[in-house]
Amino acid sequence: MLWSRKNCTHSRMSKPTPKQILKRTAKHYDLDEEQLTQPRRGPWPISWPRLLAMSIAYEQPHTCAEVGRAFNRHHTSTVYAHQRVADLCKQEPELAEERERLRKVINGNN
């Protein structure tokens, strides 16, 4: 049997796209998508959800460029977001719990 994306159980198609992650994060935090994609970093109530969403998108099979485009950021910002979230979650258990809650919302497991 020839390989095809339909036969692959770990297909990229089964994971939410960066745009879907953006939408679900905005809805979860009661923010506008524009707030998460604005050029400025913004205050913590906006920058933290953006960092979380970018980190979660990075963990899924998306390129840094895809994630960066979805969030109106340079592709290197994706790697920074992932590392920053990992560091903060190690320091603050509440932030790690929040990351897991958002991950469940994004993946439809809530």
Give yes or no for a contact between 107 and 56, defined as CB atoms under 8 angstroms apart: no
Residue 5: partners with Cβ closer than 8 Å, 6 or more residues away:
11, 12, 13
The confidence score (pLDDT) of residue 110 equals: 65
The confidence score (pLDDT) of residue 1 equals: 40
Q: Which two tokens stand for residue 27?
A: 């809805």
* Domain ranges within the chain, ordered by starting residue: 16-107
**Average pLDDT per run of 10 along the chain, which is 110 residues long?**
38 77 96 93 92 95 93 94 96 96 89
Three-class SS state of 97: helix
The confidence score (pLDDT) of residue 39 equals: 87
Instruction: Just give the CATH number of 16-107.
Output: 1.10.1750.10
The confidence score (pLDDT) of residue 2 equals: 42
> Does the pTM of the predicted model rise above 0.85?
no
The confidence score (pLDDT) of residue 14 equals: 73
Three-class SS state of 46: helix
Burial class (CB in 10 A: 0-12, 13-18, 19+), 31: middle
